Amino acid sequence: MEKVEVRAEQTKPNYLNNGYSVWSWLFTKDHKRIAIMYLISISVIFLIGGIYAAGIRLELLTPQSDLFETGTYNKVFTHHGIIMVFLFLIPAIPAVLGNFLIPIMIGARDLAFPRINLLSLYIYWLGSAIILWALLQGGVDTGWTFYTPYSTTFSNTYVVATGLGIFINGFSSILTGLNFIVTIHTMRAPGMTWFRLPLFVWAHYATSLVMILGTPVVAITILLVALERIARIGIFDPTIGGDPILFQHLFWFYSHPAVYIMILPSMGVISELISNFSRKRIFGYEFIAFSSIAIAVFGFLVWGHHMFVSGQSIYAGLVFSILTMIVAVPSAIKVFNWTATLYKGQVSYDTPMLYALGFIGLFLIGGLTGLFLGAMGMNVHLTDTYFVVAHFHYVMVGGTVLGYLGGLHYWWPKMTGKLYSEFWGKISAMLVFIGFNLTFFPQFILGYMGMPRRYAAYPPELQVLNIFSTAGASVLGVGLLLPVIYLVHSLVWGKKAPDNPWLLPGLEWRTSSPPPTENFEQTPVVTWEAYDFSDENGLDVEKVKKELATV
């Protein structure tokens, strides 16, 4: 990749041609290089998680457990969950896109703590390496939720090693969150007030709050599980006085907000895409910004809705249910505001926008089916069935992955200085959308039919729907593999990207593509509000148009 940069007549210094040695990458303090290393690591992780997903769908093609032994299948879905949740979904958008863009978007030279940023990458590598090592040694079969006492007392797999990896990875997430909060507080360029921040930054601010407040709790919880396994201290083991339900409380206290760690940054990306590709101010800026904070705050108060059937008192259940309904409202506000942003816009349909529109549709379904699960009486029937599986995939894949891909396409020219094939981009966005719906919509029906999740074998009358789902997964798989091909292709053979390919007002489009190491030649002074497309905001429109004409 770097060699090509040299061959091109690019003489302008940028963060990519600022040193080519391995050390210049491994010991960099540049947030952009760190983001690129995260991007590569996370892509590899996503591929591994995807292979496990393929294993699950192939096994479920037939009602019997014939492709895998049940024990193997249990490991396959556990590995899929652990890899996707802890190693992909949680870091994906913050560590790659957030890391790359937050300093640029607020007009800073770097994050507040560049060394801590690099440290968090190393922690991520260490944690991931331990987890992958544990999986290679024989893996773990507890499900990604590690429910006690199965995980503490009964499972004969690598629970402690995996737990250690997750524990370590948690600190990567905490440090990233800490870095973002401090950066957003103190490093904003002159004139960049809180209400001029792009919504992507607001979303990351909310995400970082959740990272700092939630991650330590799951870290200590996983540590306790490990202690219980090693030393039988008796906290979760009912035979010596412990309480397995306490684990669920501690676990979901983090892991429900963790869902918002995954979805909030994606919502930030979508706000950017919808506004910029409508060439219009976002509708209700403050409402979108504060709904992110509201989601982050209320997200901490709803963990008990995972436990409606575990013998929790009815009154506790009522509180959790009503708060769950309330946390749905800010998400609804966002969807309506995005839709309203299109009104009287100048809507164009480049690949990122297709992902954004797909996101709205899928997130809508994911969010609404969350209401099914939040309604207690409905939850009793649906919890631990495929309805839940379908619901959280609509939110996690339909939400987070689409947002991630949309953002990656949108900022790809900025990050790499190259243009990808718009044709293949659109094809892949369509395939992802269609394949995704075909994979997961049948699972709502399967769930209502009562098919429990984590079953290697299921009643034969449910096979037809499972075949639909597996067929859809293969389409989805193709849709997700395509970007790997054409994006990598663009690195070598792609056209050189202009600095501002869509003539957009954001700060990241006012520096070169790829940006110089210190992001801007001069510290920018911000005098305009976010998404202000009027011509008086200092952008040299004629110059940009001229440059675009040459591409």
Footprint of other proteins on residues 442-471 (CB under 8 A)? 445, 448-450, 452-462, 464-465
Closest approach of Cβ 24 to other proteins, in Å?
A: 16
Burial of 524 (0-12, 13-18, 19+ CB in 10 A): buried
Touching other proteins, residues 361-380 (CB under 8 A) = 361, 364-365, 368-369, 371-372, 374-380
Q: What region does 344 belong to: left with phi over 0, alpha with psi -120 to 50, or beta? A: left
CA distances from 406 to 47, 103, 270, 343, 344 (A): 18, 20, 8, 21, 23
Touching other proteins, residues 125-184 (CB under 8 A) = 141-143, 145, 147, 149-150, 153-155, 174, 177-179, 181-183
**Identity of the residue, 191 or 238, whose beta carbon is nearer to other proteins in the bound complex:** 238
Residue type, 537: N
**Identity of the residue, 44 or 347, whose beta carbon is nearer to other proteins in the bound complex:** 347
Size of the site for other proteins (CB under 8 A): 142
- The total of other beta-carbon atoms located within 10 Å of residue 185's CB is 11
- Please enumerate in sequence order all residues whose Cβ is within 8 A of that of 189, keeping only pairs 6 or more positions apart, or say none: 106, 107, 108, 507, 523, 524, 525, 526
- Choosing from 84, 335, 473, 497, the residue that interacts with other proteins (CB under 8 A) is 335
To which residue do tokens 């053979």 refer? 493
Closest approach of Cβ 495 to other proteins, in Å?
A: 18
**Identity of the residue, 100 or 283, whose beta carbon is nearer to other proteins in the bound complex:** 283
Closest approach of Cβ 480 to other proteins, in Å?
A: 24
Q: Enter the DSSP assignment of 93.
A: I
Q: Which of 342, 355, 333 is nearest to 269 (CA)?
A: 355
**Cβ atoms of 551 and 501 closer than 8 Å:** yes
Residue type, 77: F
- Taking CB under 8 A as the binding criterion, the range among 121-129, 131-139, 334-342, 407-415 that sits at the site for other proteins is 334-342
**Identity of the residue, 183 or 266, whose beta carbon is nearer to other proteins in the bound complex:** 183
**Identity of the residue, 435 or 505, whose beta carbon is nearer to other proteins in the bound complex:** 505
- Taking CB under 8 A as the binding criterion, the range among 193-201, 355-363, 411-419, 425-433 that sits at the site for other proteins is 355-363
- Choosing from 23, 311, 542, 550, the residue that interacts with other proteins (CB under 8 A) is 311
Burial of 306 (0-12, 13-18, 19+ CB in 10 A): buried
- Residues 331-353: b if buried by 16+ CB within 10 A, e if exposed: bebbbebbeebbeebeeeebbbb
Closest approach of Cβ 488 to other proteins, in Å?
A: 29
**Cβ atoms of 157 and 141 closer than 8 Å:** yes
**Identity of the residue, 67 or 340, whose beta carbon is nearer to other proteins in the bound complex:** 340
Spatial distance between the Cα atoms of 111 and 113, rounded to a whole number of angstroms: 6
Lookup: tokens for 203? 């979303």
Spatial distance between the Cα atoms of 247 and 222, rounded to a whole number of angstroms: 9
Lookup: tokens for 505? 């007002």
Closest approach of Cβ 205 to other proteins, in Å?
A: 12
Touching other proteins, residues 68-107 (CB under 8 A) = 70-71, 74
**Identity of the residue, 61 or 326, whose beta carbon is nearer to other proteins in the bound complex:** 326
527 binds other proteins (CB under 8 A): no
Closest approach of Cβ 367 to other proteins, in Å?
A: 9
- Choosing from 24, 137, 193, 523, the residue that interacts with other proteins (CB under 8 A) is 523
Q: Which of 210, 184, 25, 9 is nearest to 108 (CA)?
A: 184
Closest approach of Cβ 364 to other proteins, in Å?
A: 6
To 10 degrees, what angle do helices 199-231 and 285-298 make? 10
Q: Which helix (H) or strand (E) holds 464?
A: helix 463-493
Touching other proteins, residues 213-272 (CB under 8 A) = 213-217, 219-221, 224, 227, 231-235, 238-246, 249-250
Spatial distance between the Cα atoms of 91 and 383, rounded to a whole number of angstroms: 27
- Choosing from 84, 87, 89, 112, the residue that interacts with other proteins (CB under 8 A) is 112
- Choosing from 26, 40, 309, 481, the residue that interacts with other proteins (CB under 8 A) is 309
**Identity of the residue, 51 or 347, whose beta carbon is nearer to other proteins in the bound complex:** 347
Closest approach of Cβ 417 to other proteins, in Å?
A: 20
Touching other proteins, residues 3-62 (CB under 8 A) = none
- Choosing from 503, 528, 537, 547, the residue that interacts with other proteins (CB under 8 A) is 503
- Taking CB under 8 A as the binding criterion, the range among 2-10, 302-310, 398-406, 483-491 that sits at the site for other proteins is 302-310
